[in-house]
Amino acid sequence: MTKAYPLAPIEEAVCAINLPLTVNWDMTVPGAFYERIKADYPFKEVLQGREISLPVKPGSLPELRGIERIKFSSPDRKSVVILEERGMAISRLRPYTSWERLMPQIRAVFNNLSQVVEISSLLRVGLRYINRLEVPHNAGGLEDYFEFRPHMGKIMTHSGPASFMIGVEIPYQDKRDVCRVQLMKTLPNDPHNDAFILDLDYFLARPNALPVEDLDDWIEAAHGRIGQLFEDSLTERMKATFRGD
Amino acid sequence: MYNYNRSSRSNCWSGQWTVFDEPYRDALVEEANTKLRGERSSFEVLSVLAWLRDANEGLKGSKELSIVSSIETTLWSVARMGVVISDPGRVREYLVIYSDMTGMLLPMGEALMAHFRGEAQISLEVFQDPDADDEFLMFTIRMASYPENILDQIDSIVSSFEEPLSVRDGWVLITTDFSPPR
């Protein structure tokens, strides 16, 4: 983010990297990778799940397949690495510390993976900030808190939506990169509040379009642009709620 | 231009907006043809096919690797089906630690709501065991009047989830306190 807020509403900052199928990945990778990161991420947990892929093309059948991920956590459980076949994500959960602390963690984890897997190209890279914002119920309209918000007709505005989800995609670098910005309502921790998720997901939209040696610069640029869009999405009144004024 | 697709996993609010860039697809096919025209050995042809497969995977959109995104989608879906979550903050905190429980909540909530068909209030909360340093998730069933075999009914629902729960680090209890709905 461009500004550091004392009460930043960041629930999770996550950098996800997916490798192409040409990268050789075998069963020894998770063990060898854990050996390298276990000093910082000592807790490990296998996550079982099933993934349903609904068809993009008419006539295709949905696919159901088992997926296995391994979650490695720091002692405070707030810094997390998730590893799956040809993919990994480095997350920092609330309380978010700072970009100056997160970026070196991302770099270190990726370097450790590079020591056990030969990475010659990157299928997809994404940097995502998920913010949860709570404001007192009936303390104002959406326009008081959000520059990025749904625009509705009179009837819908009068009724007030029970929930909403809006999204835009902003292209960068001649559409090589995209930042997906989404805003939606969510369940408030405080029953007297309304709560919203502002999700900023900057990703490489063109697969294999980023040389590995440019990864650090790409992540730094992604962070800067996410920060700009975060600032652009909220009003000063909203920012005052986590500025600590 | 957007293509709203549901090709990503079901438990995902995001990853569904994909740039539908037809010129880019055409460019990919053209590039693959160019590569294939120039390559004659089977290894090189396979390399081109692998490259094309990667490009196709990339176009499908991302996989969900965010912990918070999965939690928020699940809680929202569970609440929307009618389950009462009086303290979402504590449930969130629990799921951050026991991430493998997130995927259990939706099928369990659906099973409970389908079984009781609106005749019971179903609530979800984190239960702190006072006798042990332990906490777990708890679905509580509350009804205006209880059938005699309510515990058998609960057992039958629980039994269908015992196997997937047994391989997870966290736990979800389904129970009743025989109170009326709150």
A145-177 tens-digit pLDDT:
999 999 999 998 888 788 899 999 999 999 999
User: Which residues of chain B make contact with A84, given a CB cutoff of 8 A?
Assistant: 63, 65
- B96's enclosing H/E stretch is helix B88-97
- Residue B103 belongs to a domain: yes
- Give the range of the structural domain holding residue B121, as residue numbers without chain letter: 2-176
CB contact under 8 A, A182 and B13: yes
CA distance A214 to A211: 5
Is the alpha carbon torsion for B145, B149, B151, B156 positive or negative? negative
Note whether ipTM > 0.90 here.
Answer: no
- Find chain A residues with C-beta within 8 A of B97's C-beta: 77
B88, part of any domain: yes
Q: Which residues of B touch A179 (CB under 8 A)?
A: none
Other CB atoms within a 10 A radius of the CB of residue A63 amount to: 11
Of A11, A128, A165, the CB nearest to B13: A165
What's residue B19's pLDDT? 37
Is B129 contained in some domain? yes
Into how many domains does chain B fold? 1
- Confirm or reject contact between A119 and chain B (CB < 8 A): no
Beta strands in B53-171 (DSSP E): 120-129, 134-143
The answer to whether residue B182 sits within a structural domain is: no
Contacts of A77 in chain B (CB under 8 A): 96-97
On the question of pLDDT at B54 being above 60, the answer is: no
Residues of chain A with pLDDT below 50 are: none
Chain-chain contact of B65 with A14 (C-beta, under 8 angstroms): yes
- In this prediction, residue A6 carries a pLDDT of 84
> With b meaning 16 or more CB within 10 Å and e meaning fewer, what string describes B55-82?
bebbbebbbbbbbbbbbbbbbbbbbeee
Q: Is residue B181 part of a domain?
A: no
pTM of the model: 0.82
Give the A:B interface size as CB pairs under 8 Å. 137
Q: Is residue B53 part of a domain?
A: yes
